[in-house]
Structure 1
């Protein structure tokens, strides 16, 4: 074999090796199936799980029933899950206490070594006539006022099925006066309560007929 023939043979052999290597490399370099990465959430837009659930707003009005009248500006009603949590028990019955917003009646002084204030018993009895035991009522919160006090009681208006505002009725009939803490925003209905109070005082209605003053002012 001469030198040219030998050189051609070596060249052919090297070319063959390169071809085999290229084919093998092509096979190994083929992309594999994509690997799924757990992201902790669905990949499809519009999924209900992907969207953040909105926070439920507290209701502005809650329907319940009267359990008992405590005094001329306070009533105990049936608790309502997630809306009116129990604040106390009375005779083994769970209650939610509502302090009627925007008014103040004479104190019964249950927890004090003192007699009831002038007009307190009459105010309690009168509210009991408006909010009879078992009566369906609507607890209505004011946008300007706190919903609860430091005792956990609701600070709210109380409406009867026929739409009577129990707080306004107490003021108009002379058994309570408009009132709210001076360091708090004025509740929306207080101006209406003041007009009713002016009339009740001028006409000596209810407890105004025999008490020098009733409630706080």
Structure 2
């Protein structure tokens, strides 16, 4: 099987597998290096977007993508401070993604909600997760305990020093 066909086949299996809870456990281990070209369909919040990934010519897969290595405050917040921070993170992510298409890399299945986990770069090469970290709108996240956004809000200097970066 040609390398490009094998890549497309693996990506489809990974993306479809992430849609089913039992299969997502199996799909969580393998990773696809990428890059995979994609168009933003919707920015859900400060760390999740919906994309149409161009897996091979004339073939598109629509999937939710959680940004690897970061955690943003939740829009369905427990307090006003978290909700305000969540809106700011989503607004900035939307602005970072406005200029055009993106690429996904380091793609794997995610443990929740049938989405994939990936790094996301803009057309000009900006790593949006790192940009949000530098600006203090999100914190580094290694998949463990989430930050209590109602007690503390990150600053540009402390955002990257949280729980790690594996995502």
Quickly name the TM-score band, shorter chain normalised: 0.5 to 0.7
Check conservation: 1:103, 1:167, Cα contact below 8 A.
Answer: yes
Aligned residue number for residue 16 of structure 2: none
Q: Could you list the per-position Cα deviations for residues 62-84 of structure 1 after superposition, in whole angstroms to 9, with x for gaps in the alignment? A: 10111121111111111445787
Q: Could you list the per-position Cα deviations for residues 70-118 of structure 1 after superposition, in whole angstroms to 9, with x for gaps in the alignment? A: 11111111144578743xxxxxxxxx21100000011111xx7876724
Q: Could you list the per-position Cα deviations for residues 7-45 of structure 1 after superposition, in whole angstroms to 9, with x for gaps in the alignment? A: xxxxxxxxxxxxxxxxxxxxxxxxxxxxxxxxxxxxxxx
Check conservation: 2:50, 2:64, Cα contact below 8 A.
Answer: yes
Aligned residue number for residue 116 of structure 2: 154
Following the alignment from structure 2 to structure 1, what is the Cα–Cα distance between the partners of residues 67 and 95?
15
How far apart are residue 151 of structure 1 and its match? 2.1
Please, what is the CA RMSD of the aligned residues?
Answer: 3.3
| Structure 2 unaligned regions, length at least 5 | 11-31, 146-153
SS in 1 for 2:156: helix
Q: Taking structure 2 as the reference length, what is the TM-score of the superposition?
A: 0.61
Higher relative contact order (CA 8 A, sep 6+): 2
1:60 corresponds, among 33, 41, 46, to 33
Check conservation: 1:107, 1:116, Cα contact below 8 A.
Answer: no
2:65 corresponds, among 82, 95, 98, to 98
How far apart are residue 201 of structure 1 and its match? 3.1
Check conservation: 2:136, 2:155, Cα contact below 8 A.
Answer: no
Check conservation: 1:69, 1:127, Cα contact below 8 A.
Answer: yes
Q: Taking structure 1 as the reference length, what is the TM-score of the superposition?
A: 0.48
179 and 113 in structure 1: CA distance in 2 versus 1, 3 angstrom threshold: closer
How far apart are residue 136 of structure 1 and its match? 0.7
Matched residue count = 124
**Structure with more of its chain in strand, by fraction:** 2
Check conservation: 2:52, 2:61, Cα contact below 8 A.
Answer: no
Alignment of 1:29-44 (within 5 A): none
How far apart are residue 182 of structure 1 and its match? 3.7
How far apart are residue 170 of structure 1 and its match? 0.4
Aligned residue number for residue 137 of structure 2: 175
Alignment of 1:49-198 (within 5 A): 53=1, 56-57=6-7, 58=10, 59-61=32-34, 62-80=36-54, 85-86=61-62, 96-109=63-76, 117=82, 118-132=84-98, 135-141=100-106, 146-182=108-144
Check conservation: 2:135, 2:155, Cα contact below 8 A.
Answer: no
